[in-house]
Structure 1
Amino acid sequence: MAKPNYSFEKRQREIAKKKKKEEKLSRKQADKPDNDGDEPGADAGDGAPTTEQG
């Protein structure tokens, strides 16, 4: 009888958990696209104030 490879089974469980977590996160992000433009200065990029000298 072959002995069980517990490290392989553990790795497979970890991969499944990670995949499920990523899918859940992507579903959450897909539900929130309408809130992106509500904040003032959202299109400022890095948020640093720009100073123009003329």
Structure 2
Amino acid sequence: MPTPNYGYEKRQRELEKKRKKEEKAQAKAARKAERPHEGGDAVPPDHAVTDDADGAGDGGGDGGGGD
């Protein structure tokens, strides 16, 4: 009786896991493509990023008033 080839069996299990992981990632991408604007990823309008590069008028900065 031949001895079991454990290395081959392990490689086959690893390939199966990799295949399943890729299929799952593709399914996830397909679901995301179907509903691009739904979900919790959207930023609320009151927290939207502005194009204000210098940050003037937002009350931010280093907090120092020159005192």
Deviation of 1:34 after TM superposition, in Å, equals: 3.7
Runs (5+) with no aligned partner, structure 1 = 46-50
Instruction: Give aligned-pair identity as a percent.
Output: 15
Aligned residues: 47
Give the helix-richer structure, 1 or 2: 1
Q: What corresponds to 2:44 in structure 1?
A: 41
Q: Which runs of 4+ in 1 moved over 4 A?
A: none
- Higher RCO (Cα < 8 Å, 6 or more apart): 1
1:26 is the counterpart of 2:33: no
TM-score, normalising length from structure 1?
A: 0.60
Runs (5+) with no aligned partner, structure 2 = 50-56, 61-67
Structure with larger Rg? 2
> How large is the RMSD of aligned CA atoms in angstroms?
3.3
TM-score, normalising length from structure 2?
A: 0.50
Q: How far apart, in 2, do the equivalents of 1:7 and 1:27 lie?
A: 30
Q: What corresponds to 2:58 in structure 1?
A: 52
